[in-house]
Amino acid sequence: EVNASALQNRFFIQNFYRIRTRISFPAIGELLKISDFVKILNAQIELKPTRASWVNYPLPAGLNVYQLQADQTLSAALTNSSGGTQEGNLSIDQIYGEQTSYVFDVTDYLINELTTNAYTTQQLVLLQASSDSSLHRFAGNTTNAAELRSRLIISTLVYSNQ
């Protein structure tokens, strides 16, 4: 296991070499401290590849997000509202490459994470959607240029008793 900070804040996914990425939100509980009542309405992870990283190694057609259980096994892939497996809805910006991304709905996951503690929290694991062992690769970053940064987008309802 390697922390993204040791990789210049980048992360990778490649089935051929069994490279996976884990995602966690250790400070998500801080949302509950901003007001008397906080509710997550919608949450999405937007994963953007580093610029031109798909020139030599094509992007996977889809990615799946799994929850990592306490015993280090993976649960079923996250599903959409109709019960189908989410594959990231890959959108490729053929002109500039800056809007290329995979997007996942993680609303239910984050709502559950708000009530967890250090013993019950679950990380997310990203894997290529198919078991194809070709050299498709996803290389993303977390802190470089804002237009290329992967991010968590949360819509909340906040109510304060004042």
pLDDT of residue 118: 66
Q: How far apart are CA 29 and CA 38, in angstroms?
A: 11
| H or E element at residue 110 | helix 107-113
Mean pLDDT of 122-141: 77
18-55: burial string, b at 16+ Cβ within 10 Å, e else? ebbbebebeebeebeeeeeeeebeebbbbbbbbbebbe
pLDDT tens, residue by residue, 21-37? 888 888 888 888 889 89
pLDDT, averaged across the chain: 81
Mean pLDDT of 104-115: 89
> Is the pLDDT at 137 greater than 80, yes or no?
no
The residues facing 81 across adjacent strands are none
> Is the pLDDT at 112 greater than 90, yes or no?
no
